[in-house]
Amino acid sequence: MYSVLRASAARAASSSGAHVCAKRAVNNVSRRDVGHGSSFAARTTARRYAATAVAASRRHPSSSTSSSSSTVYLDDAEDSRRSSSSPRASSSYPPPPKYFSRTKADSAPIVEHLQELFPGLEFPPELAVQMLTHASAKEAWAASNTRLSYVGRRVISTYLLLFLHHATTRLSSSSSSHILSPSSSQFDFDAINYRATYTALIGEHVGRAWNLQRSMLWTPPVSLAYSSSPLSTEERIGGSSKAPGLYKVQGTTVEAIMGGLYHQFGGLVTQRAFHTRFLPHILCPGESSGLHDAFHGAAREMMERMGGPDCSFSSSNGAKNSKLLVDGASIKEVEAQL
């Protein structure tokens, strides 16, 4: 069968005056292509080589007996014709645009904003930019706050659960009548933690109080990015957090800031920031979201014991409260209770 294929391919090529090229082309057919039921593939391959030789002899009749290096395959010739007829190959077609240089954020206003929120702390510029750079920002190629927000969520949940636990144990035995004393068996701490610390709520209350939209880096939705309105992003969305996700982005940034504080300055500084800068803003009296109303009095008392809403985070002020934990007890006392 192999000899029949070779003969038929040679005859087809010799009829057009390209016997030599056809013979060399057909000789390239492997014997394994014609054995074991591969007759169709072998016939197709032989015809292709024969047609290739015929096409080559028609284009170059004077070199039909030249070496096999002058053989032009149909696929290559077709590709060359396509590339020559393509508008991209013409000289009048403009070259592709060059890549734009990557945008790098200016750290000066970001560091200034963070130092206004937490006076007395010195933020490294790289960390400050990372804390306020959302993953959607064009500057996120360098670093984003995704990992810091992951750490910050755990830090916030930890401090809140510690506060709830010690508030119930201490206030239940307190003689103060002006503070509601909840029982630890009366509340589901996991549910309270979730309702008080989900990301959109944090962005709506804490992020707005921190004025994060002034300096955080993110990419707003298309409808807002191309709007010609002179109003701010929050004013244009009418206070709705669900449409463009502004509050979700602000909440992620708040979590990243708390994670950055814990990473850079440790647990004691982050604890004071939680009780003086974070927790007072999630007190939502009469609402199902936010911290439960039963713990509002304890939260305000803790804020004052930590230095108040305008406390400084300088080293001298931090040394004064170095043994404080969520309810004013020392670390050893808390470990003994746990």
Residue 109 amino acid letter: P
Q: What is the pLDDT of residue 154?
A: 96
Closest of 208, 255, 253, 254 to residue 234, by C-alpha: 208
Mean pLDDT of 89-96: 59
How is the chain split into domains, by residue range?
Answer: 2-89, 107-337
Residue 108 confidence (pLDDT): 92
Select the more confidently predicted residue: 269 or 321.
269
Does pLDDT of 16 surpass 80?
no
> Picking from 27-41, 135-149, 161-175, 211-225, which range would have the lowest pLDDT averaged per residue?
27-41
User: For position 252, what pLDDT does the model report?
Assistant: 95
Residue with tokens 């290096």: 69
For the question of whether the overall pTM of this predicted structure is more than 0.85, the answer is no
The pLDDT, as a whole number, for residue 168 is 84
Instruction: Spell 172-185 as b/e; 16+ CB within 10 A means b.
Output: eeeeeeebebbeee
Spatial neighbors of 108 by CB under 8 A, at least 6 apart, are 125
At position 223, the amino acid (one-letter code) is: S
Instruction: Assign domain 107-337 one CATH number from 1.10.1520.10, 3.90.420.10, 3.40.605.10, 2.40.50.100.
Output: 1.10.1520.10
In the chain, the amino acid numbered 154 is R
- 185 Cβ partners below 8 Å, 6+ apart? none
Q: Does residue 24 contact residue 45 with C-beta atoms inside 8 Å? A: no
Residue 245: the pLDDT is: 83
Written in H, E and C, the secondary structure of the chain is CHHHHHHHHHHHHHCCCCHHHHHHHHHCCCHHHCCCCCHHHHHHHHHHHHHHHHHHHHHCHHHCCCCHHHCCCHHHHHHHHHHHHCHHHCCCCCCCCCCCCCCCCCHHHHHHHHHHHCCCCCCCHHHHHHHCECCCCHHHHCCCCHHHHHHHHHHHHHHHHHHHHHHHHHHHCCCCCCCCCCCCCCCCHHHHHHHHHCHHHHHHHHHHHCCHHHCCECCCCHHHHCCCCCCCHHHHCCCCCCCCCHHHHHHHHHHHHHHHHHHHHCHHHHHHHHHHHHHHHHECCCCCCCECHHHHHHHHHHHHHCCCCCCCCCHHHHHHCCCCCCCCCCHHHHHHHC
pLDDT averaged over the chain? 72
- Enumerate residues 6+ apart whose C-beta is below 8 A from 45: 29, 33
Are the C-beta atoms of residues 24 and 68 closer than 8 Å to each other? yes
Identify the pLDDT of residue 296.
Answer: 92
Q: Is the pLDDT of residue 22 over 50?
A: no
Least reliable range by pLDDT among 104-118, 129-143, 175-189, 251-265: 175-189
Which region among 37-46, 114-123, 185-194, 294-303 has the lowest average model confidence (pLDDT)?
37-46
Residue type, 250: Q
Note the pLDDT of residue 164.
92
pLDDT given at position 74: 46
| Torsion, CA 298, CA 303, CA 304, CA 308, rounded to 10 | -160
pLDDT at 254 over 50: yes
pLDDT tier for residue 83 given thresholds of 50, 70 and 90: low
User: Contact 109/212 with Cβ under 8 angstroms?
Assistant: no
Q: Are 297 and 163 in contact, with CB atoms under 8 Å apart?
A: no
Asked whether residue 82 carries a pLDDT value surpassing 70, the answer given is no
Which range (81-85, 161-165, 194-198, 232-236) has the least confidence?
232-236
Give CA–CA dist 129/144, Å, rounded. Answer: 8
Of 193-202, 209-218, 220-229, 243-252, the one with minimum mean pLDDT is: 220-229
The answer to whether residue 152 scores a pLDDT higher than 50 is yes
